[in-house]
Amino acid sequence: MKNRLLILILQNIVLFPNQEVKLEFSNDISKNIIDRAIHQNSAELVLVASKNEEGNVFGVEDIESIGVLVKIKNAIDLPNGKLRVALRGTKRIKITNLKVLADGLIEVETIAIENPLYNLDEELAYSRKLKEMTRSYVEINRGVSNTILDIIKNVTNLSKLTDMISASLEFDIREKMKLFKETDHYDRAKMLVTLLSNEVKSIKLENKIDEEIHAKFEKSEKEIIIREKIKMLSDELGVDSDKMSEAEIYKKTISELKVDEKIRQSMYREVRRFELTMDNSPEYGSLRSHLEFITSLPWNKSSKGESDIEKIDEQLNGLHYGLSKAKERIEEYMVLKKKNKNLHSPILCLIGPPGTGKTTFARELASSTHREFVKVSVGGLNDASELIGHRRTYIGAGAGKIMEGIRKSGVNNPIILIDEIDKMVKDYKGDPSSVLLEILDQNQNREFVDNYVQEPFDLSNVLFILTANDESKIPRALYDRLEVIEVASYTLFDKIEIAKNYTLPRLGKEYGFDHTKIKISETVIAKIVEEYTREAGVRDLERKISTIIRKILIKGLDKTVTIKESDLEKYLGNDTYREYENYYETSGVVNVPAFTSSGGCLINVEVALYNGVEKILTTGSLGKVMQESAMVAVSYLKDNCKQFKIDKKSLSETMHVHALDGATPKDGPSAGLGIEVAILSAILDKKVPNYCAFTGEISLKGRILKVGGIKEKLISAYNAGIKKMYIPRENEADLGKVPKKVFKDMEVKTVNCFTEVYEDIFN
């Protein structure tokens, strides 16, 4: 590295590459170093240990020649005036050319230390040996967490492996310093093998001595002596006897839990720490909270659930309209689960516009199958710790949303809804989607380790259902693990069905009246949908119907009330949305359906030509893709002037392309065909029929390319009164998803090239 970096000298702390620590600084020099590094050196600095282990003042001569390049992940000013900094080591470096600055800070140049090449088989043998010895060390050392075994399990790089083991295990600071200063990873591995071997022998000897001492006492005498000692120590230290009885309760609870013996022993160790911790210790509260949490987890407690498929199907259809694919997939799983108890639960992801019943479906599924329901909303989530939990070393640490939800549900097989996964945010706090990979991956979630719980918990019995509005915003690695079920916009016919058979009965239960006494015809519901709502789902429709019912109930419902079209203005006021009408009577205007996160809609694309320099103006909040579509359309016409009988000079004028509803941003590869038709209409001065609409992208050679959202676009065009729709021939397979009622009043014509459209519209 050629850039100069500031160094930070620390005493009795060794930071290895790939290790992360949080430190607090109170002195101005350290704060100044951190601040300068963040603002001038891309949040990088060099961390070194001091040769002087006892002094408080460090000079250039005290600086070790080997340091670690550090990335500052975040820095927070605390109310007490201290600065809390999260540091992550990236790689070892050799320090050269020290320079003391005017303000007393030290700046250095560094050289990266490269690992020498060794025999691959030999390195692999050392890696296996180190992992084996680390496992032996963890198994006999009760004070070391077994999470290090999961961390190093898949590490094959010998250099990285030695650093991770050195950083994680409880070695003397001098030994850690020796390991850090050894730049040859092969020699470092040898040192680590020797150190681990000595530690294992030492701990085994200590355990043997303890066993010999304890063997001298009979069980009853031992208990009496220990209890008397604890009582005397408790009285002397002022430890409340209630805490001792509370510890006994924890022990009893742990003994009754159906958990792995290793997990049970780990819990007992926590109770022993709790017993020996004084009430005024900062650790007392965190130990108590942790014990309460882990002992209340449903380690092996499951809900039986409903297994009768016919009952589940009947109840689901009675509570929720549509989503036939999701219901069918759940029924398949329930049938196969009865035959194979070890069958993995499917990970369903419902993708569709807001208000189409995705969340409601998950809730009703839990009710139908008699399983507990947990909702985890990740919309706007940017902190991965919210899902995987905070480490207990932090003040106010707690479990992640998944484990917290399981604890509240009381069973280990609830239905967990993870809502709005397309709205997660990746930033310096972490990537929540990467944590979801571990939670959802069927090969990993059998031993999911929450940072707060610190013990593996089996999530394989959980049925995960995810929801999203925009498929394109789901991270690809996460998307690959999901069974995607598309939830399309509701048609007018769907909304009428939902209002009659689902919304009215539900509101009857909610407001406590006989819903059969309020009559709303299909015509009235259709008028509410078309003139008072504009949505893909039915939320606003339910609100409008609820408004009508409340006003009727306030006046009193003594007899059957029939709501007429003429009553809507009295109950709902003036209509919000007029039925779509094509007012234009001029050339250069076409109808183009659009697909948005709220469903489908219809917009007008207008084109105007006037004298001036040759350029294309685009307005109406058109994105880059639509602007390029306009340029492609013009270039195609220039290349085929003779075929379309147009003067090439007309394409050399200023051309203005505008999309109505200009406040709404528009982008995507689907408007090219409509723009092409509008431009040609303006040049030929021939009006395009009002009842026609166009969707499809156009290429430089006139090909009409496949687009998305065909179902929503056709439904929106149908609702707007369009009688003829042009779509790409490549989208012909998508027509099977469109309700058959749409085709009764609207002709759908598939085209492969623009000349087909030209012949049909302009000849």
Give, in degrees to the nearest 5, the angle at Cα 516 between 524 and 501.
Answer: 65
Q: With cut-offs at 50, 70 and 90, classify the pLDDT of residue 240.
A: low
Residue 523 has pLDDT above 80, yes or no: yes
Residue 625 has pLDDT above 70, yes or no: yes
Residue 526 has pLDDT above 90, yes or no: no
Query: pLDDT by residue (tens digit) across 473-518?
Result: 888 888 888 888 888 777 777 888 888 888 888 888 888 888 888 8
Q: Among 237-246, 388-397, 507-516, 637-646, which is the least confidently predicted range?
A: 237-246
User: Which pairs from 403-408 meet CB under 8 Å and 24+ separation?
Assistant: 403/297, 403/450, 403/452, 403/453, 403/457, 405/374, 405/375, 405/376, 406/297, 406/298, 406/374, 406/457, 406/462, 407/293, 407/296, 407/297, 407/298, 408/374
Q: What domains are there in the chain, each with its CATH number?
A: 5-112 (2.30.130.40), 120-215 (1.20.58), 219-296 (no CATH), 309-486 (3.40.50.300), 492-572 (1.10.8.60), 589-762 (3.30.230.10)
Burial of residue 240 (number of CB atoms within 10 Å: 0-12, 13-18, 19+): exposed
Q: Is the pTM of this model over 0.75?
A: no
Distance separating alpha carbons of residues 241 and 275, to the nearest angstrom: 10
Residue 115 has pLDDT above 70, yes or no: yes
Residue 223: what pLDDT? 60
Residue 629 has pLDDT above 50, yes or no: yes
Q: Could you tell me which residue, 254 or 307, shows the higher pLDDT?
A: 254
Residue 2 has pLDDT above 60, yes or no: no
Average pLDDT over residues 308-326: 77
Q: With cut-offs at 50, 70 and 90, classify the pLDDT of residue 662.
A: low
Contact 354, 598 (CB under 8 A): yes
Average pLDDT over residues 421-426: 85
Residue 596 has pLDDT above 80, yes or no: no
Ranked by mean pLDDT, the top range of 479-483, 572-576, 696-700, 741-745 is: 696-700
Average pLDDT over residues 549-576: 84
Secondary structure (DSSP) of 538-574: SHHHHHHHHHHHHHHHHH---S-EEE-GGGHHHHH-S
- Residue 185 φ/ψ region, left for φ over 0, alpha for ψ in the -120 to 50 degree band, beta for the rest: alpha
Average pLDDT over residues 52-57: 61
Secondary structure (DSSP) of 722-733: --EEEEEGGGGG
- Residue 297 φ/ψ region, left for φ over 0, alpha for ψ in the -120 to 50 degree band, beta for the rest: beta
Residue 1 has pLDDT above 50, yes or no: no
Query: pLDDT by residue (tens digit) across 151-174?
Result: 888 888 888 888 888 888 878 888
CB atoms under 10 Å from CB of 143, counted, come to: 9
Residue 230 has pLDDT above 70, yes or no: no
Per-residue DSSP letter, 169: S
Q: Among 180-189, 694-703, 712-721, which is the least confidently predicted range?
A: 712-721
Residue 398 has pLDDT above 80, yes or no: yes
Q: Could you tell me which residue, 677 or 145, shows the higher pLDDT?
A: 677
Residue 92 has pLDDT above 80, yes or no: yes
Residue 698: what pLDDT? 93
Q: With cut-offs at 50, 70 and 90, classify the pLDDT of residue 607.
A: very high
| 14's tokens | 């060794």
Average pLDDT over residues 581-597: 78
Instruction: Tell me the pLDDT of the chain averaged across its residues.
Output: 83
CB atoms under 10 Å from CB of 509, counted, come to: 9
Give, in degrees to the nearest 5, the angle at Cα 121 between 119 and 123.
Answer: 70
Q: With cut-offs at 50, 70 and 90, classify the pLDDT of residue 750.
A: very high
Ranked by mean pLDDT, the top range of 343-347, 350-354, 656-660 is: 656-660
Chain centre distance of CA 239? 45
Residue 133 has pLDDT above 70, yes or no: yes
Query: pLDDT by residue (tens digit) across 255-287?
Result: 888 888 888 898 888 888 887 777 777 787 888
Residue numbers annotated as active site:
670, 713
